[in-house]
Amino acid sequence: MHIAIIMDGNGRWASRRHLPRSAGHRAGAKTVDTIVEAAVRNGVTTLTLYAFSAANWGRPHGEVSALFTLLRHYLTTQTRRCLEQSIRINVIGRRDRLSPELLEVIERSEQATADCTRMRLRIAVDYSAQHSMMETCRRLRAAGSIDQNLFIETLAEVDHSAIPAPEVDLLIRTGGEKRLSDFLLWECAYAELHFVDCLWPDFDEKAFSQALEEFSRRDRRFGQVAEAKAAASGRG
């Protein structure tokens, strides 16, 4: 099962408490720990978290700097815990605009957890699905013919994904907004969408379990009518 999460609302969480936005991001990092552990316990095989979008470069310099400092700290401190739980870390997105110091930390965490198999934790940093698909098309422009498998493999290369990720089963967005915000547009073609009003720092294991429970009640037909889906399953 592949779950993707748009972790929205850190800044608003801090503002409502008359705190700097960086305090909201620190609180959000604690929620990441909680949800990663909950995902492992629930048998999730791939968890993709939207940490920093390409559009986030437009935020104030101080906030951007604080976000990257927090990311470096998270990777440095949590890699050992991921090893203990056999969680493979993979940072996806562009890398040409990241600092050498952050790149070193990313590569060290990825290499250390490369053999972990229990769950893949993908963290999207400087990520834009539109950019990824455009760059994939640019690289494939000279190919004689393009099939879906080749597109997926090239998209994974563009995104620095260790291996092509499975399609997203469930996308969760906190913070009350109801949009994808340029996140995993290819992989979310048939994803079930779950939007919640609570801000990311307030999203806890109970809220995560409720999202899983609602997902279990969804009738996923993938464009088929129920009768055709049942017949196809019977043939399998």
Cα(2)–Cα(166) distance, integer angstroms: 7
Residue tagged 């940072």 (tokens): 91
Cα(210)–Cα(195) distance, integer angstroms: 12
Cα(203)–Cα(198) distance, integer angstroms: 6
Main-chain phi, psi angles of 103, to 5 degrees: -60, -40
Instruction: Determine which one of 42, 56, 182, 202 is catalytic.
Output: 56
Please tell me whether residue 85 adopts helix, strand or coil conformation: coil
Find the helix or strand (DSSP H, E) in which 72 lies.
Answer: helix 61-84
33 is catalytic: no
Amino acid at 229: K
Contact 176, 12 (CB under 8 A): no
Cα(161)–Cα(90) distance, integer angstroms: 7
Cα(155)–Cα(137) distance, integer angstroms: 9
Please tell me whether residue 46 adopts helix, strand or coil conformation: strand
56 is catalytic: yes
> Is 1 buried (19+), middle (13-18) or exposed (0-12) by CB count in 10 A?
middle
**Which residues are known catalytic residues?**
8, 56
